[in-house]
Structure 1
């Protein structure tokens, strides 16, 4: 199975780095099975950094990597109440820490983040947030949260992505 990481440079050896923004599933190395989504992330990151190009890194992983007996894996099948609670803990509680090696599930796009903001500011209920999420097409994200989990990523190449400047 192929996974993709969108950034500004090729990432041949992924690392767990502290980020300036904690992602939906916490700190770690984020990938997706959607090449299109990774390309969009390259475009947005390049635009934020005001650079002309970025890079799509490509990895092979075993097809059954989410069912690995040596790793603690949490998979969210849908943007349901459990997923919302987990994402909110990562976003709201700076000291929140989970013990999963890998977390996989839907990624919140810009429209979803807008709905989360309404919920976080008590402008809509959790029930309404969940209803809004049902009509969104959410692509996946796969967080590699521990050094041990990174061992299953096999870098196979990268592609330079030209971006508008």
Structure 2
């Protein structure tokens, strides 16, 4: 299956990098099955960094390797997913031992709902119900070097503003 990673750089050899902010599924190499989502992410990064070009990096993902890896799969938003995302985004010392995590993206538009949940303004049931009204794209987090072996670089598509 093809998956995509948006970046300001061509990334032929993905690596596990420590982010400078808290992310949905922790540190690692993030990808999506949505080329559109990868392009939007690149364009946002380009604007934030005053860059005139970026790249959609395309990979072949050998998803048969999922059975060999310690994987956490969230087919749709649920309470376990919400708790996992909140722990990664809010707990300073939270970590996990999964090689790959797959599930919906809690993007900035959706994260407003998480803010209401975290503040106690809505219940987890309301959070899940609200999130299911959005068309959520997916993401794969490759959390370990072992997981990265399931990726094969295909190409980088240059994006210019």
Q: Give the Å deviation of 1:9.
A: 0.5
Q: Secondary structure at the match of 1:64?
A: helix
1:60-99 alignment runs, 5 A limit: 60-66=60-66, 68-69=67-68, 71-99=69-97
2:21 equivalent in structure 1:
21
The 1-side partners of 2:107 and 2:87 are apart by 18
1:42 equivalent in structure 2:
42
- Gaps of at least 5 residues in structure 1 are none
2:137 equivalent in structure 1:
139
2:105 equivalent in structure 1:
107
The 2-side partners of 1:159 and 1:65 are apart by 26
1:130 equivalent in structure 2:
128
Q: Secondary structure at the match of 1:105?
A: strand
Q: Give the Å deviation of 1:48.
A: 1.1
Is 1:12 the counterpart of 2:12 in the alignment? Answer: yes
Please report the RMSD computed on the Cα atoms of aligned residues, expressed in angstroms.
1.2
Q: Give the Å deviation of 1:65.
A: 3.6
The 1-side partners of 2:41 and 2:89 are apart by 19
**TM-score computed with the length of structure 1 as normaliser:** 0.93
Q: Secondary structure at the match of 2:159?
A: strand
Q: Give the Å deviation of 1:63.
A: 4.2
The 1-side partners of 2:74 and 2:85 are apart by 11
Is 1:3 the counterpart of 2:3 in the alignment? Answer: yes
- Gaps of at least 5 residues in structure 2 are none
Does the CA contact (< 8 Å) of 2:18 and 2:28 recur in 1? Answer: yes
The 1-side partners of 2:154 and 2:22 are apart by 27
Q: Give the Å deviation of 1:93.
A: 0.8
Does the CA contact (< 8 Å) of 2:70 and 2:100 recur in 1? Answer: yes
